[in-house]
Structure 1
C-alpha cells in the first residue's frame, strides 16, 4: 500500500510548529531556572537585610563589605533598609553568563529588574573588597569602584525598578539609569568640577562609548540633582534631552 505524499507546504508548516514548540519550551525552562537560582549556589549567609549566596564559601569579611554597601546606599532617596536584598556571587563565569541575562561574563555585576530583582556579582576577593576583573585585566577607576560599589550599583537598579516599574530599561535613557546607579554606588566620591572639565575636553574617561565607564552619565545626574536642585522624581518624570545636557555641561559655569 502506497502512503500519500506529504505536500511540501504542509511539511514546512509542521517543521515550523515543531521549532516554535521547542523554542517555547526552552524559553520556559530558562525563565524557571532564572526564577530559582538558589540550587546553583551551595553556600549562603545572611546579615541584616542582606541574603548572600555563593558557589564558593563566603568569607566572614562579607559583613564589612555589606556595611560599606549600606553606607553607599544612604546616598539614595529610593532605598528602603527594611526590604530584603538577595545577592549571588558567581565565581564561575557560566553562572554570571546564565543568570546575568547578558549572555557574557565580562560585566562586574547585573541586576534582574524584570523577574526576581536579585543581584549577581562576578568573581570577587571579598576580604580585599574588590572584584576580580575578567581575564585578569586592570580595573579602571579601581579606587572608586571596590566590590561594595558594584553591589550598591546593582541594588540601585533594583530600587529604581521598584520605584518606577519593571520596564524601566525600556522607558528611561541609559544615561539616567546607569548615571544614578553610579551616583549612589560612589556615595559622593566624585569631584564634579574636575569631571566636568574633563568632559568639556572630551577626555577618554568621560566618554562612555570609548571607556565603558559611567562617569559621563554620573556627571549628568549629579548636575541635575546637586547643581540644579531637581529631585530624583522630577528627573524621572521628565528626563532632559541628552544632547541638551551635553551642551550645558560643556558651557562655561
Structure 2
C-alpha cells in the first residue's frame, strides 16, 4: 500500500500530461484548419481567394494575372480550380500556418490536407516577397512574388494529380524542379544553366545556394530536350545521379 500511492500519483500525472498535450494538439489543428478568422483582410479575383493579415492593395490583380500567365506552363493546372492564398506578414503566422514551423520560407503549400498556399511577408504592390534574412533575394528578377505563388500552386496541382503523399513517393528534384519550371513561366535558359552546372556553379547546387535551378535544369532537360511527357516523368523518374551523368555528357542522349 505504501508503494501504491506514488504509483497512482505518477499515473495521474501521466494522464494529466497526455490530456494537456491532446488538448494542445487539438487546439493547433483547429487553428490550422480554420485560419480565416485570423486574417482580417480578404479579396477575390477570378478563381483566386486571397486572405492577409494586412490590407490587400489593388495591385494584387496584376500579381495574380502574372501568376495565371506562369501557370500556363503547367500541364496540370485547371483554371476553374479555386485557389486559396494566405499572406502571412507576421512571422509567427508563417510559422504557425506554413506547416514547417519555420519563418525562413518564401512560401508553402499544404499538399496533405487543405491545399492552401501560404506566402511570407510581401510587398504586393511591388510584386516581391521580403527576403527572410533582410538582405537581397537571390535570383530576384526571376523570382518575383508571382513566381512564389505559382510555385506553391504547382505543388498542390501535383498533389491533386498524383496523390496527397507525393512528398513521400517522389524525389525532391522532381517536385521542386517542376514547381520551379512552372513558377519561372519560361524564364529559363536551359543551355546556359547546363553550362553553369557543368562548371560547378554555386547557383546550380541547392545545398549551397538554396535555389532550385539545378532541379529545374533536370526537369527542363527531360521535358524540353528529351520530349518526355509529365506523365512519363512521374511514372518512372530517373535516378538523379543518372541525370547528372547525362547533363555532363558532351553529347547528352
The answer, yes or no, to whether TM exceeds 0.5 is yes
Deviations 1:78-105, CA, capped at 9 Å, x for gaps: 0000010000111111100100011111
- SS of the residue 1:121 aligns to: strand
What displacement does 1:7 show? 5.7
Structure 1 length-normalised TM = 0.95
Which digits, 9 at most, give the CA deviation of each residue in 1:163-184, with x for residues without a partner?
1111111111111100000000
C-alpha separation between the residues in 2 aligned to 1:190 and 1:250?
18
TM-score (norm 2): 0.95
Correspondent of 2:63 among 65, 73, 91: 65
Gap change, CA 1:57 and 1:18, over 3 Å in 2: same
Q: CA deviation at 1:115?
A: 1.0
Let me know the Cα RMSD of the aligned residues: 1.4
* Match in the other structure for 1:146: 144
State the alpha-carbon separation in 1 of the partners of residues 80 and 173 from structure 2.
Answer: 28
Measure the CA separation in 1 of the matches of 2:135 and 2:59.
24
Which residue is 1:178 aligned to? Answer: 176
In the alignment, the residues of structure 1 paired with residue 20 and residue 90 of structure 2 have an alpha-carbon distance, to the nearest angstrom, of: 28
Q: For 1:32-71, what aligned pairs fall within 5 Å after superposition?
A: 32-71=30-69
Which residue does the alignment assign to 1:200?
A: 198
In structure 1, the residue corresponding to 2:56 is in which secondary structure? coil
Q: Secondary structure at the match of 2:243?
A: helix
* In 2, Cα distance between equivalents of 1:155 and 1:145: 15
Displacement of 1:106 in angstroms is 0.8
2:130 match: 132
Partner secondary structure for residue 51 of structure 1: strand
CA drift at 1:13: 4.4
Residue in structure 1 matching 2:117, options 116, 119, 122: 119
Aligned residues: 251
